[in-house]
Structure 1
Amino acid sequence: MASSTGQANDMRAAVVHVVAAAAVSVPVIGGLLPARFLGWTWMDPLAAIVGSIVIASWTYTLVRDTGWVLLDVQPDPSLAGRVRDIIQARGDRIADLHLRRLGPGHLGAIVSVVTAQGRGPDHYRRLLDGVGTLSPLTAEVRDEVHP
């Protein structure tokens, strides 16, 4: 699971690197020309500062998003709430629910349900079929034990 997310972040990092290099080249060249022909030597450092701000901004976003994946942050709390509501509306209880980002716009789910209804994992897969972007869904079902 983590490998597809890692590959998506690797691809994004490569794209950011290429686009940042291209985007920063324009102001750098734009700063060199006035410095060379008009004597505006302050343009070159200004272009470097603007370029470094652009790169720092893109880098911050990439590191933040990658950190969320590494820290296993819940990718979509509203989707988790919908899954909880659907299952618990039928009298079952969720013991554990975990959503994981598998790639851009693609989530996998692991849900552990406690039920007294004798339902199997396939029931919960059908119940949640078409909810958001969940695929694959792993369902664990435990029978509710009454003391």
Structure 2
Amino acid sequence: MMEKLYLVARIADTRVALRSRAIHSVVTVGTPVEVPGAPPHVAGLFALRSRVFTLVDPHVVIGLSAVPVAPGQRVIVVEVAEHGYALLADEIEDVCFIEAPETRITGKLLPGWARVADAVIEYQGASLLVVDPSNFISLPTLIAA
């Protein structure tokens, strides 16, 4: 049953679903510490429960301009390869069970979304992209650019 539990959020002005097994928590963040020389999608670092997390701006990952981090902004905390990361979220909508099956993406997505989305799921009459948080982190093409 847990495989049907999703976090529904708005990231980079798009409603998405994230599988709950990929999410550690949702928290608010203060002003992050800038990291000189970091890749453009790294918005900074912040501490949470005596741990340092890398703050990732999904806007940059999908090819949009960076957005400033607002004090008190909510972020989605994930762990990828035993490192802590947090994704900036425009809005956290809900944590819910979605009974509809995930389906293959059949339409054409913008290249940035095609990199991070791996399925589509129907929820409340709308199609949501199912995104894998690790795809926002591991972007060798972004880092090399």
Higher RCO structure (Cα 8 Å, ≥6 apart)? 2
Same fold (TM over 0.5): no
Greater share of residues in strand: 2
TM-score (norm 1): 0.21
Greater share of residues in helix: 1
TM-score (norm 2): 0.21
